[in-house]
Amino acid sequence: MRVEALSVDGAWLVEPVLHADDRGVFLESFRGDVLAEVTGRPFHVVQANTSVSAAGVVRGVHFAQVPPSQAKYVTCARGAVLDVVVDIRTDSPTYGSWTSVLLDDTSRRAVLLSEGLGHAFMSLVDGSTVTYLVTAPYAPGREHGIHPFDPAVGIEWPTVAPDGTPLVPSLSDKDAAAPTLAEARAAGLLPTLAEVDQHLKSLAPLP
């Protein structure tokens, strides 16, 4: 597989090699050794989450407090989503910026994002099935969000599905009530880049 750094530091696009024939397709969808080589530390999977979403559903922007936060490895097993990474580290050179990747059941690409980053996606078709491998278990008291339509962040969400039909955004009550990036920062919810770096240095390095 090929791994390419995205414009937000700490996030990568992962492109697997697809072996196709008349029977179908085979691929290595996750390689812990490859991710460890990229990040310099093991990716210890402790939980796997799956969501199924109708077209237009937006989930996020979600993040977990540092430490321990969560590193995530995100794939789309069925359908298609626009996957988004947001830099919420307050002293980062790219604070408030975002990058996006199309994940679908054709390219089988994945996104790897490190601890201390925000994550969201929009489902582009009905039944989009997203799997997240994460390095820390869900901790309700340490999970937070940023409103995905915060104009200060300015995520360019799709308005039209691949088949040309309009996409009508749909949010959970929790995501609809999420603070803006500025409000989350004022409330002390966002990590600093220094805090994230200190936490990453505390993790077990590669032998």
Q: Which two tokens stand for residue 100?
A: 């996006």
Which domain range does residue 43 map to? 2-202
Give catalytic residue positions: 62, 132
Structural domain contains residue 193:
yes
Structural domain contains residue 90:
yes
User: Which residue is associated with the tokens 């969808």?
Assistant: 29
| CATH number, position 127 | 2.60.120.10
Structural domain contains residue 207:
no
- Average pLDDT across the chain, whole number: 96
Q: Are 119 and 110 in contact (CB under 8 A)?
A: no
- The residues with which 24 forms a beta bridge, in sequence order, are 21
How many domains, the chain?
1
What's the predicted TM-score (pTM) here? 0.95
Dist. CA 114–CA 125, nearest whole Å: 27
Dist. CA 60–CA 137, nearest whole Å: 17
Instruction: Please write the tens of the pLDDT for every residue from 107-164.
Output: 999 999 999 999 999 999 999 999 999 999 999 999 999 999 999 999 999 999 999 9
Q: Quote the DSSP letter at residue 142.
A: G
Instruction: Please write the tens of the pLDDT for every residue from 148-191.
Output: 999 999 999 999 999 999 999 999 999 999 999 999 999 999 99
pLDDT over 90 (residue 204):
no
Instruction: Please write the tens of the pLDDT for every residue from 6-64.
Output: 999 999 999 999 999 999 999 999 999 999 999 999 999 999 999 999 999 999 999 99
